[in-house]
A and B are shown apart, each in its own frame.
Chain A
Amino acid sequence: MTPPTATTPATPAGTRFEAIGTDIEVLVTEPDALAEATAVVREHLARLDLAVSRFRPDSEVSRLARAAEDEPAWALASPVFASALRAALRAARLTGGLVDPTVGRAVAASGYDADLDVVRSRPATHPGDPVPAPGWRSVTIDPVTDRVDVPQGCLLDLGATAKAHAADVLAERLSGRLPGGFLVNLGGDIAVAGEAPAEGWQVGVDDARGSTLQVVAVADGQGVATSSTRHRTWATADGGTRHHLLDPRTGRTATATWHQVTCVGATALEANAASTAAVVLGEQAPAWLEANGIPARLDAPGRVVTTRGWPDPPDGGSR
C-alpha cells in the first residue's frame, strides 16, 4: 500500500457521470488535476464504446459479428479494441474459461440484446433456447498486426472485463500524466494508482439497493470489482427474472447462488475476472477464490462468506 504523504490533501476531489451504460466516478488527491483527469476518462470511454459495445451497430464488435454471421471472419483491431480483447482473453485464461468473451449470442438469446433500459421497457418475453458459446480459444489476435479472427457465429461480449481493464488503463494513465493519486470507478470496477489518501481509498461494498454493507480501504496495487445477480436484471414472461451473467459451459444464466461477490485483485481486471467466475461457480466459489489467493466477500440470502484476507464484516460472516 502506498504510504500517505504529507502533501496529500485530507479531502480528495471527485466527479460522477454516466457513460458506457453505467455510473462513472473519478477521484483525485490533487483537486487541480480533476478537470483534465475527467476529460481523459471521458475521451477513453468514448473510444471504448465505439470499439466494444454490443448495442452499437457501428462498433468494431458489431461489425465483426455481422461479418462472422455466415463464415469465420477477421478484422484489424483498433488499439482500444485490441487491448480490451487481450484483457478478455487473459481473464478467460485466468478462470479456465469461466469468464468467456464469446458468450455474446448466448447473452443476447437470454434477452439482454440491447441497453438495459430498452430491455426493461419492452414487454417481457420468454427467453430463447441456450446458445452454446464458441469458446474463447476459438478467438485469436495477432501479437504484431492486431488482426482478430473469430469463428462463424461469434458475437464477442467484452462487457465483463472491458470496464475493469479500462479502469486499470485509465488509473495508470492518469498517474503517469498528472500529479497525485487517482481512483477510477467504472460501474463498480475500481482501479487506483499513485498516492492514496491518508486512510487509503475507502470503498463501500453496496448491495443492489445502494446500502453499504462494508467499507474496505485499498491503495496502489489493489483493484476491486463486484459482480451481482441483482443489478442488471429484467423480467421474463414466465414471471421470473433473468440476470446478465451466463455460465459459458452451458449457455444458460448462471444460478444466482450469490446475490453478489466482491473481490480484490492485483488489478481491477483480475478482481472482475474473479468475481464473475465466482458467480458462475456458485457454491464452489469460496474454495476456488481461496485457491487463487483472492480476498473476497460473497453475499447470499441470509449469509455472508469471506475468504482469507478479506476484513471481518461488521455484521459477522463465515469463512
Chain B
Amino acid sequence: MPTRALSTARTVTATALAATALGTAALGLHLATDQQAARAASVTGTTSSGAAPQPAPRERDDDGALAPSGFGLVQPPLSGGSGLSGGGHTSSHGS
C-alpha cells in the first residue's frame, strides 16, 4: 500500500507539473497573441472588438510542417559594432 500511495502521489505530482506546463504554454500563446494584437492596434489605431483572439490560420510549409500564415515573430537585430573588422561579418548590399 505504501508503494501504491507513493505511486499515486507521483502521479498527482506529475499531473500537476503537466498542468503547470500546459498553463505556461497557454499563457505563452496568449501573450504571443496579445503582442500581435497590440502590434496591429498600435499601427492601425483600432482597439480590440472584444472578440476572443483566434490563432492565425496555418498552412503547410514546403517541408510539410504546419507554418503560420503570417510573418513569424522576430527578435529585433542588435546594433552592431563600430565597424566590420575581425571575423563573423558580412554585408547585405541588395540584389
Tell whether, in the assembled complex, residue B95 and residue A218 are in contact, meaning their CB atoms are under 8 Å apart: no
Tell whether, in the assembled complex, residue B94 and residue A188 are in contact, meaning their CB atoms are under 8 Å apart: yes
Tell whether, in the assembled complex, residue B87 and residue A206 are in contact, meaning their CB atoms are under 8 Å apart: no
Q: Which residues of A contact B76 (CB under 8 A)?
A: 264, 295, 308-311
The residue on A at minimum CB distance from B35 is A293
Tell whether, in the assembled complex, residue B77 and residue A291 are in contact, meaning their CB atoms are under 8 Å apart: no
Residues in chain B within 8 A of chain A (CB atoms): 36, 39-40, 42-44, 59-62, 64, 67, 69-84, 86-95
- Nearest-Cβ distance from residue B26 to partner chain A, whole angstroms: 22
A260-283 vs B: 1/0 string, CB under 8 Å? 101011110010001000000000
Query: Is there a chain B Cβ closer than 8 Å to A215's Cβ?
Result: yes
Residues in chain A within 8 A of chain B (CB atoms): 1, 9-14, 22, 25, 27, 29, 82-83, 86-87, 90, 93-94, 143, 163, 183, 185, 187-190, 196-197, 199-208, 210, 212, 214-218, 221-222, 224-228, 230-232, 260, 262, 264-267, 270, 274, 287, 290-295, 308-312
Tell whether, in the assembled complex, residue A206 and residue B79 are in contact, meaning their CB atoms are under 8 Å apart: no
Tell whether, in the assembled complex, residue B72 and residue A265 are in contact, meaning their CB atoms are under 8 Å apart: yes
Tell whether, in the assembled complex, residue B93 and residue A231 are in contact, meaning their CB atoms are under 8 Å apart: yes
Q: Which residues of A contact B95 (CB under 8 A)?
A: 22, 163, 187-189, 226-228, 231-232
A270 to B80, CA, bound (A): 21
The residue on B at minimum CB distance from A224 is B92
- A293 CB contact (under 8 Å) in B39, B69, B77, B79: B39
A231 to B61, CA, bound (A): 31
Given the known A-B contacts A222-B75, A294-B71, A311-B79, are A11 and B93 also in contact in the complex, defined by CB atoms under 8 Å?
no
19 CB contacts below 8 A, A to B, read: A1-B78, A87-B62, A189-B95, A197-B88, A201-B89, A202-B90, A203-B80, A204-B84, A215-B81, A218-B78, A226-B95, A228-B94, A230-B94, A232-B95, A264-B74, A270-B71, A290-B39, A311-B77, A311-B80
The DSSP consensus for interface residues of chain A is mixed
- Nearest-Cβ distance from residue A114 to partner chain B, whole angstroms: 17
Tell whether, in the assembled complex, residue A265 and residue B74 are in contact, meaning their CB atoms are under 8 Å apart: yes
Q: Which residues of A contact B80 (CB under 8 A)?
A: 199-200, 202-204, 214-217, 311
Q: Which residues of B contact A206 (CB under 8 A)?
A: 91-94
- A215 CB contact (under 8 Å) in B59, B84, B93: B84
Taking A222-B77, A226-B95, A231-B95 as known contacts, 17 extra A-B pairs with beta carbons closer than 8 A to each other, sorted by chain A number, are A27-B87, A27-B88, A197-B87, A203-B90, A204-B92, A215-B79, A215-B82, A215-B84, A226-B93, A226-B94, A230-B94, A264-B77, A290-B43, A308-B76, A310-B76, A310-B77, A312-B79
Tell whether, in the assembled complex, residue A221 and residue B93 are in contact, meaning their CB atoms are under 8 Å apart: no
